[in-house]
Amino acid sequence: MSAKIISFPHIGSYHVPIKFLLNALAGKGNKAISPPPITKKTLELGTKHSPDFVCIPFKYNLGNYIEVLENGANVLVQTSGGCRMGFYGEVQEQILRDLGYELDFYTIDAERGSAMDFYKAFKDINPKLSITYSIAAFAVATRMAYAIDGIEEFIRKNIGFELETGSFERMEKQFLHALAQATNVIQVGKVYREYLLKFQALPICKPSNPKKVGVVGELYIVMEPFSNYCIEKELAKFGMEVTRFLTISYRLFSKKHTAEYVLKNTGSYLKYDIGADATDSVGKSLDLARAGYDGIIHLKPFGCTPEVNSMPIVQRISQDFKIPVLYFSFDSQTSETGVKTRLEAFADMIDMKVASQ
Amino acid sequence: MKIGIPKALLYYKYRIMWRSFLEDLNCEVVVSPNTNKAIMDTGENYSIDESCTSAKIFMGHVSWLIGKCDYILIPRIESYANGDTVCTKFYALYDICRSTFPEAKFICYNVDYAHHQTEWKAYKQLGEALGASVFHTRRAYLNAKNELTVYEKILQSNQDDLIHSDNLKVLIVSHPYNIYDEMLGTPIIRFLKDLNVDVFFADIPDSADMCAKSKHLSRSMYWHYNKEIVGSISHYESIIDGIIFLTTFPCGPDSLTVELLLRKIKGIPMTNLVVDSNTGEAGLHTRIESFIDIIAEKKKRGDEYVG
């Protein structure tokens, strides 16, 4: 039997921990590969074979799959979420089979399934897999995700004030490269601490009271810089400190424990959970407004039902707290220039608002 | 007390039950009129432009009811069992309406079996909010539920009577709030009946049975309302001549479900009609007419071949 080559769709920089985890679980003779980095071509490929008005993460994922299948992958993994994302797997599998690819497709249901389902899926790929070994591999991957989240948070807060253009991005590349070499929890921790110090040593010129904006919205668009035209870095160029709460570590590990609190914290704005990450969008917008931020950016794919649900409520918060909110909706036709113009206008408006106070 | 019910979304599924329950508890029920252009336009004004057309229509009905009743009933439905959820729109309608119409008063009941909030518990709280005793509420709830079951049985047997007719049979696969809406589905149904076609509705057969049957077509589907209508395809597979999918733009669950079904079902002619508030009737009529021509021709040839 031929070797199994496992792959997965891209999301942000998380291909490092995902690839590590899949490689560890794949077993002897099998391996995991990352899809090629997302380009315009990826999106075109995905759009061509997708249903008309499905949300754009579906199109990106499908583009990733087609490109990586061309590179020799034969086992694909998809996760699921609380919205229509949970149904991605079955439809994508059908589309890929109709295109004539031979593949095994595993959907790991994070929302409705359990850790045991995850283990069983991999037991199927690698019959020799033991539970203790998978837990150990999972722990390393988790630590990596936390390390990435920690570093990225630092980058978001400071990249707008770098003295040497591009120094943060260069360091980020080195960090991801070093992280990919780590094989156990101790090494990951070492890399994290080493690079956090290196990042802190980069020269910046940060005013004591910088303008602050928060990013809320849908998981994929928020976390995948290509899909939002690197909106965080564009924002930073206007000399702003960017905050975002939604990260993989939050989504996978903290959300379970904080969901009830977040809902309660929205007070009179929400009585019930409004699906997927939309409750968080409302809760975090409210937190940002209360913390005196200068603006909120709300990102979502076109037609994302949960985030559309959250918009009237975020709008209400915007009116009540007099905090400006800029809504972006991304589709395969969204133009980069349009996004940049709106961002610039938003930044100007915040400048004027700050100046008038 | 006057309770307003918007004639959209879940109205078409639960109208019998709501009316019976509320009237039993001595409430007066006000139902908004059939969807018309004015309601649709108001709904659009009050909605985020990316909401699905069905939800926009709902907002129009809510807006019509404001000032004409004391409370507006907006149920909040999350799940019917573990892993048997509904579209997230239904999670949020109550909160959306509260934010959009701060001047209006709403009452809500919350069904969420996955978190132990059963339908009876939900109605109990609704009865409490309306000031009725638990015993009274319980009796009203059971009566209402019973009435709904009887009504559904009648609809089912009416539909089953059609099976033996010689006309062309077309299955409409869509949510009840699209099929029976005056601006979305009704013109299409009327047109089909004018063409002498027997129309089967996907939402009529027994819900639990259909959810089980949907497994033949999709193993991982978890939307309750979609399972119901997808199951009916397996249910009627042997007797229908064609399937019409009716989707509102941009419905989340349907965007994926219809794609999967179009790829999976073989041997039955299918067409997918996507409607929104700007859809022109003429264009739809042409498409339906040519679709009916195709299945009529197929049926004729099939008969000749067998004969």
Token pair, residue A78, equals 């998809």
User: Phi and psi of A250, rounded to 5°?
Assistant: -65, -45
A192-201 per-residue burial string, b: 16 or more CB within 10 A, e: under 16: beebeeebee
Q: Does the beta-carbon distance from B98 to A271 stay under 8 Å?
A: yes
- In the stretch 164-223 of chain B, residues with CB closer than 8 A to chain A read 218-223
> Using alpha carbons only, what angle is made at residue B179 by residues A300 and B256, rounded to the nearest 5 degrees?
35
**Residue-wise pLDDT tens digits, A280-319:** 999 999 999 999 999 999 999 998 999 999 999 999 999 9
Q: Which pLDDT score is estimated for B280?
A: 75
Per-residue confidence (pLDDT) for residue B193, from 0 to 100: 93
Separation between Cα atoms, residue B56 and residue B39, nearest integer Å: 9
On whether any CB of chain A is under 8 Å from the CB of B120, the answer is: no
**Alpha-helix residue ranges (DSSP H) falling in chain A:** 15-26, 40-49, 56-70, 88-98, 115-125, 131-158, 167-181, 185-201, 219-223, 231-237, 248-249, 255-265, 278-290, 305-321, 336-356
Q: Do B88 and A316 touch (CB under 8 A)?
A: no
User: Would you state the pLDDT for residue A261?
Assistant: 85
- Report d(CA B172, CA B277) in Å as an integer: 20
Q: Give the C-alpha separation, B164 to B278, whole Å.
A: 37
d(C-alpha A179, C-alpha B190), whole Å: 64
Q: Which residue has the higher pLDDT, B159 or A119?
A: B159
Instruction: Map tokens 């995700």 to a residue.
Output: A145
Q: Is the pLDDT of residue A208 over 90?
A: no
Q: Please, which residues have CB within 8 angstroms of residue B174's CB and are 6 or more apart in sequence?
A: B185, B202, B203, B229, B245, B246, B247
pLDDT averaged over every residue in chain B = 91
How far is CA A209 from each of CA A206, A352, B240, B279, rounded to the nearest angstrom? 8, 16, 69, 52
Q: Which domains does chain B have, with CATH numbers?
A: 2-150 (3.40.50), 163-301 (3.40.50.11900)
Residue B261: its pLDDT value, please? Answer: 94
Q: Kindly report the three-state secondary structure assignment for every residue of A264-280.
A: HHCHHHCCCCCCCCHHH
B95 to chain A: which residues are within 8 Å by CB? 269-272, 274, 309, 313
How close A88 gets to chain B, by Cα (Å)? 8
> Quick one: A21 exposed, middle or buried, by C-beta within 10 A (0-12, 13-18, 19+)?
buried
Strand partners, B28: B2
* Count of pairs with CB atoms under 8 A, one residue in A, one in B: 117
**Mean local confidence (pLDDT), A46-71:** 93
pTM: 0.92
pLDDT in tens, B261-290: 999 998 889 999 998 887 777 888 999 999
Residues B224-269: pLDDT tens digits?
999 999 999 999 998 999 999 999 988 889 999 999 999 999 888 9
Which run of H or of E encompasses B294?
helix B281-306
Over residues B19-38, the pLDDT tens digits come to: 999 999 999 999 999 999 99
A313 at B interface, C-beta within 8 A: yes
Q: DSSP states of A64-80 as a string?
A: HHHHHHHTT--EEEEE-
> Lowest-pLDDT range, A244-253, B125-134, B195-204?
A244-253
Task: Judge whether residue A113 has pLDDT over 70.
Answer: no
| Contact call for A53 and B255, based on CB within 8 A | yes
pLDDT at A112 over 70: no
Assess contact for B174 and B202: CB atoms under 8 A: yes
Tell how strand B76-81 and strand B84-85 pair up: antiparallel
Q: Measuring CA to CA, how many Å separate A101 from each of A48, A54, A66?
A: 16, 22, 9
Query: Hey, what amino acid is at B299?
Result: K
A30 close to A2: Cβ distance less than 8 angstroms: no
Percent of chain A whose predicted confidence (pLDDT) is above 70: 98
Judge whether A107 is closer than 8 Å to chain B, CB to CB: yes
Name the band, by pLDDT with cuts 50, 70 and 90, for residue B69: very high
Between A78-92, A183-197, B47-61, the lowest mean confidence (pLDDT) is in A78-92
Give B219's pLDDT tier (boundaries 50, 70, 90).
confident
| Smallest Cα distance from A343 to chain B, Å | 21
Least confident of A66-70, A112-116, A168-172, B187-191: A112-116
The answer to whether the CB of A76 falls within 8 A of the CB of A101 is no
Chain CA centroid to CA B39, Å? 18
Q: What is the ipTM of this complex?
A: 0.90
Task: State what percent of residues in chain B have pLDDT above 90.
Answer: 78
Query: What pLDDT sits at residue A333?
Result: 82
Of A57-71, A168-182, A266-280, B112-126, the range with the lowest mean pLDDT is A266-280
Is residue B26 left, alpha or beta, with left meaning phi > 0 and alpha meaning psi from -120 to 50?
A: left
Q: How far is B45 from chain A (nearest CA, A)?
A: 12
Joined together, the tokens standing for residue B116 give: 């132990």
> Can you tell me the distance from the alpha carbon of B4 to that of B105, in angstroms, rounded to the nearest whole number?
10
pLDDT score of A1: 54
Which of the four pLDDT bands, split at 50, 70 and 90, describes residue B304? Answer: low
- Predicted pLDDT at A62: 95
Q: Grade residue A222 by pLDDT with cuts at 50, 70 and 90.
A: very high
Of all helices (H) and strands (E), which one includes residue B246?
A: strand B242-248
Q: Report DSSP state, residue A204.
A: B
Instruction: Check CB contact under 8 Å for B256 and A329.
Output: no
Closest among A157, A328, A151 to A227, alpha carbons compared: A328
Summarised one tens digit per residue, pLDDT across range B98-143 is 999 999 999 999 999 988 999 999 999 999 999 999 999 999 999 9
Reduced to 3 states (helix: H, G, I; strand: E, B; else coil), residue A212 is strand
* Residue in chain A nearest B114 by alpha carbon: A112
More confident call, A114 vs B140:
B140
Number of H helices, E strands in chain B: 12, 11
Q: Tokens at residue B209, please? A: 């049975």
Share of chain A above pLDDT 90, in %: 53
CB A66 within 8 A of CB A99: yes
Instruction: Please indicate whether residue A334 or residue A204 has the higher confidence score (pLDDT).
Output: A204
Residue B205 vs residues B157, B228, B301: alpha-carbon distances, Å: 9, 8, 30
**Quick one: tokens of B168?**
């062309």
User: How does DSSP classify residue A102?
Assistant: -
The C-alpha atoms of residue A17 and residue B45 are separated, in whole angstroms, by 45
Residue B94 class from Cβ within 10 Å (0-12 exposed, 13-18 middle, 19+ buried)? buried
Residue B169 burial (CB count, 10 A): 19
Q: Work out the angle between the directed axes of helices B186-194 and B281-306 (0-180°, nearest 10).
A: 40
Res. B306 pLDDT band, cuts 50 70 90: very low
The answer to whether residue B307 scores a pLDDT higher than 50 is no
- Alpha-carbon distance B196 to nearest alpha carbon in chain A (angstroms): 32
